[in-house]
Amino acid sequence: MSERNRNQLPNNLPQLQNLIKRDPESYKDEFTQQYRHYQSNMQIFHLKPSQFSKTLDELLIFLSQVAHCYPDEMKDYPQELRDALQRHSSILDRTMRMTFCKALILLRNKSLIPATSVLELFFEMFRCQDKLLRKTLYTYIVNDIKNVNQTHKNAKLNTTLQNFMYTMLKDNNPVAAKMSLDVMIELYRRNIWKDPKTVNVITTACFSKVTKILVAAIKFFLGTDAEDKGSDSESDEEDQKSAKELMTGYRVGKHTKKRQKKLDRALHNIKKNKKKKKVAECFNFSALHLIHDPQGFCERLFRQLDATTERFEVKLMMIDLVSRLIGVHQLFLFSFYPYIQRFLQPHQREVTRLLLFGAQASHDLVPPEMIEPMIKTIANNFITDRNSGEVMAVGLNAVKEICCRCPLAIPEDLLQDFAEYKTHRDKSVMMASRSLIQLYRKVNPELLRKKDKGKPTEASKDLKVLEYGEKDTRTYIPGTEALKNTEDIDEEELEQEAWESCSEEEDNDYDGEWLDVHHSSDEEEVDDTLVPETSEEQEAKAKSVSTTRVLSQEEFRQLQQHQAARETEGMKTKTKGKGKKRKREKQEEEQERGELLSLSMIENVHKKRAHDKESRLATVMAGREDRPKYTHGHKKMNAHASTTNKDKLRGKAYTMIKHKVMNRKKKRSFRDKQISLRNSLLKRQKMKR
């Protein structure tokens, strides 16, 4: 029999795999032969598991590809692979171990093995000293859990895996624990496991003795993955640029249907890729709200911070997390303020961040006597004339942010001292002091001197100074007294209908002559500012509007404008029938203060920047515009004369004239200088003749 007619299927596994997938029953004998071959090779493998076997490597992939075609014959095959991999994972050859994992992944994708069985094994295999394997398993675990929860949440699987990960975070192998933590963080970031149980499992990693695990868990709660958004925006700009280039290129050349289809296809692909890149926005600091026991977690974390020997950068991250917990949940941790107070020195590293942490940890439920020493420390170390203007401005900004959250923390005399810096020669200090004055004009103007209180406004008459622990609760939405209630709206509609009916009658009776129309608004309309309502009437009107209507977005915008106007307009009086309005001043827009502060609020230093190299060069080039090019240079006494030996020396290499330069640099006597000068003058006289 010739070689061409001989059966090659037993040796050509890819061809046999293709044929089996098309017609499993016709090639069952060939499959059975290969399965027996696999069983014999597996027996040999168990004797020498650390040895690589090319035959077994090929058979594992082949059987995993066609396992779904023979479910009865292959029902024990997935469990055999799992048991073999679990028993010999640490001593297996790298290539064989990767092949076993790929075979299990193929079986899992065909739903021939449960997810918990495979994923728990893969978590345990993070202990293997194989970086490529760990990366492959990490990617597959995340994608598999994502696919399982894509249509609906698989609560049973999620609970089982979360419990298993809780034990993996306490594993003796730091690499396995770190990879397990990375999986949980990635699943939370992708909105797959965004539940309180995941967050509270991650909190246990904040007390790990391994620095990498500790830092990863703290970074998760601090939400420091905002840097990834920058890369997304850059890729979007590249997509827009490429689309623009395609459109520009299409303008040149002959316009044909083929070119048009090609352009449409390319633009469609760019648009499709852009949609894929859009990920749901995720704020990691929202995880702070899902912690079950924030007070206990914060106290335990602070005890660890007080006793830790980690480097300063890690301590800063722990201080940041403790301050965020205190501010977000309004916790009581009185020992934190003396701890951070000892770091508040101008020469301290990252002192602006430490000031920010002190402001973050302040809230109105903390007793003022606990925060007052911190403000006095900032005043003694920062807000003094011994320091530069930048240091003083940073200190005043920090005090302002602390007082914004806890207004009762500053004594009256100290606030008045800070207000005196409003005329400081440094612009940064002046603006920081004025912003502090502006804050207390809205919160408690009684602490300021009379000259600093400013003119009274419409909002100041309703101002209520709150004591410690007191809340300003109202039964209506402030500012709704400026809106019209439903009764006024109905009356306006009736008037409008009456006006339209009258106009229709007039149109019918119109005989072509001009009519004199009398408008009541010209004489009888009364300005509301002339006859102001009492506070009781305004409150009653506000309650009526708040309880009888659903406000629209436009009305909420009007409320904001009305409240802003009340803070700038003067008090309305009845004297002489006129109201004095305070001239509106253009004020800086205050930064929005949410649960977390930004470092720019502390470093808000207004200083004219020094000229950099580019700006200096631009100034120099601007000065050369009206000047001729190369006006200054070496001029000869005789334009037609040849170059001198001195000029020739300038074009020579330094090594050629080094000996002459050294001799020239030697100190000459006064007599030698006289002779040299005499010879030079005589030479010039001869040249003039």
Tens digit of each residue's pLDDT (9 = 90 or more) over 276-296: 555 444 445 678 889 999 999
Residue 616: both structure tokens together: 């200096």
Q: What is the reported pLDDT for 241?
A: 52
Q: Which residues contact 57 (CB under 8 A, 6 or more apart)?
A: 95, 96, 99
The full DSSP string for 584-640 is PP--PPPPP--SS--HHHHS----PPPP-HHHHHHHHHHHTTTS-TT------SSTT
Name the pLDDT band for 623 (thresholds 50, 70, 90).
Answer: confident
Q: Which is more confidently placed, 131 or 645?
A: 131
Query: Does residue 379 carry a pLDDT above 60?
Result: yes
pLDDT category at 630 given cuts 50, 70, 90 is low
Residue 484 in this model has a pLDDT that exceeds 80: no
Between CA 80 and CA 392 the distance in angstroms is 72
Summarised one tens digit per residue, pLDDT across range 186-205 is: 999 888 888 889 999 999 99
pLDDT at 319: 95
Tokens 């597959």 -> residue: 140
Query: Residue 367 and residue 673: Cα distance in Å, rounded?
Result: 85
Q: What is the pLDDT of residue 639?
A: 74
DSSP annotation of 644:
P
What pLDDT score was predicted for residue 561?
A: 77
Residue 383 CA to its chain's centroid (Å): 31
Q: Which pLDDT score is estimated for 670?
A: 85
**What is the chain's mean pLDDT, rounded?**
80
Q: Token pair for residue 255? A: 């316009």
- Comparing 148-157, 322-331, 366-375, 468-477, the range with the smallest average pLDDT is 468-477
- Residue 85: how many other CB atoms lie within 10 Å: 22
Indicate the range of 127-131, 292-296, 357-361, 457-461 predicted with least confidence: 457-461
For the domain made up of 301-457, the CATH class stated in words is mainly alpha
Indicate the DSSP class of residue 447: G
Of 524-528, 545-549, 673-677, which gets the smallest average pLDDT? 524-528
pLDDT band at 362 (very low <50, low <70, confident <90, very high): very high
Q: Which residue would you say has higher pLDDT here, 406 or 535?
A: 406
Return the percentage of the chain with pLDDT > 70, whole number: 79
Most confident of 183-187, 225-229, 531-535, 657-661: 183-187
Q: How far apart are CA 302 and CA 304, in angstroms?
A: 5
- Phi and psi for 457 in degrees, rounded to 5? -120, 175
Q: Which residue has the higher pLDDT, 485 or 521?
A: 485
CA 12 – CA 359 distance, rounded (Å) = 72
Contacts of 593 (CB under 8 A, 6+ apart): 404
On the question of pLDDT at 218 being above 90, the answer is yes
pLDDT per residue as tens digits for the range 312-360: 999 999 999 999 999 999 999 999 999 999 999 999 999 999 999 999 9
Task: State yes or no: pLDDT of 13 exceeds 70.
Answer: yes
- The mean per-residue pLDDT over the stretch 69-87 comes to 90
Q: What is the pLDDT of residue 517?
A: 47
With bands split at pLDDT 50, 70 and 90, how would you rate the model's confidence at 666?
low
Q: Which helix (H) or strand (E) holds 184?
A: helix 174-189
- Please spell the DSSP secondary structure of 104-122, one letter per residue: HHHHHHTTSS-HHHHHHHH
CA dihedral 643, 649, 650, 654 (to 10 degrees): 170
Least confident of 144-148, 527-531, 568-572: 527-531
pLDDT bin (cut points 50, 70, 90) of residue 562 is confident
**How many residues does the structure list for the chain?**
689
Would you call 648 helix, strand, or coil by DSSP? helix
- Token pair of 474, please? 């109202």
Domain ranges of the chain: 9-113, 230-282, 301-457, 482-491+542-568
Please report which confidence band the pLDDT of residue 491 belongs to, taking 50, 70 and 90 as the band edges.
low
pLDDT above 60: residue 582: no
Q: What is the mean pLDDT of residues 7-18?
A: 77
Position 3 scores a pLDDT of: 47
In what helix (H) or strand (E) does residue 376 lie, and over which residues does it extend? helix 368-381
Evaluate whether 437 touches 449 at the Cβ level (below 8 Å). Answer: no
